[in-house]
Chains A and B, each alone.
Chain A
């Protein structure tokens, strides 16, 4: 079992839809959880960052972490064509220089 599992999609939704993106993980030591957005032929950029469990909201984006289920989610409300990108979850443990572990990314297309 890979440390981080993420459905690669592709996921295609109409403009205005609510999008739900998810990752599961196996390492209970993970404490930091991130979502990165990667446009085609660009580098990833940090979208949301959460420490430990709970929810975090930023505009149309909401990140949720459920450590008991080892499950994280990113919700996008009122999705726009400009949200079309690949979304990668990433996480890391607390101790030492343990690097970020990325999911494979979910490719999202928002159709106008």
Chain B
């Protein structure tokens, strides 16, 4: 069973479109994250939710809107996609909010987004 799963794995779309990426974890964790990894492999946190509440919101354009319908799911909706949004987006989860600081985070396989 996959611990942290993301859909879709690949996403190719045109500039200006709106798209969503879904994430689910079956580990029973309380905290979930979205990371962006750019072409230079730089991994940067975007958002974190603990028990469905937003606890970290880094400097991310408001075209990006996370939604957590329950503890096991954290989705990412992106409006008006731009070329610079092309990257790999990773979802992750940790048992508690301490994962923000150092408790093990478990990463999904990533969603490769290409904006044309």
Contact = CB atoms under 8 A, between A and B. Distances in A.
Interface of A: 8, 31-32, 34, 41-46, 49, 51, 86, 88, 92-94, 97-100, 102, 104-105, 107
Given A42-B109, A42-B110, A44-B107, A97 B102 contact: no
Interface residues of B, number: 24
Contacts, number: 63
A105 B35 CA distance: 15
Task: Find the residue from A43, A46, A86 having the highest chain B CB count within 10 A.
Answer: A43
A34 B105 CA distance: 11
Nearest to A86: B41
Nearest to B112: A41
Interface stretch (B42-50, B65-73, B75-83): B42-50
Contact of B104 (A49, A51, A93, A98): A49
A13 B36 CA distance: 29
Interface string B70-100: 0000000000000000000010100001001
Nearest to B41: A105
B12 interface: no
A15 B8 CA distance: 36
Contacts of B56: 97, 99
B25 to A, nearest CB: 12
B102 A51 contact: yes
Contacts of A92: 100-102
B1 interface: no
Task: Find the residue from B42, B92, B108 having the highest chain A CB count within 10 A.
Answer: B42
B41 A98 contact: no
28 contacts: A8-B40, A8-B41, A31-B101, A41-B110, A43-B92, A43-B110, A44-B43, A44-B107, A45-B106, A46-B105, A49-B102, A49-B104, A51-B102, A86-B41, A88-B41, A97-B48, A97-B100, A98-B100, A99-B48, A99-B56, A99-B58, A100-B105, A102-B42, A102-B44, A104-B40, A104-B41, A104-B42, A107-B41
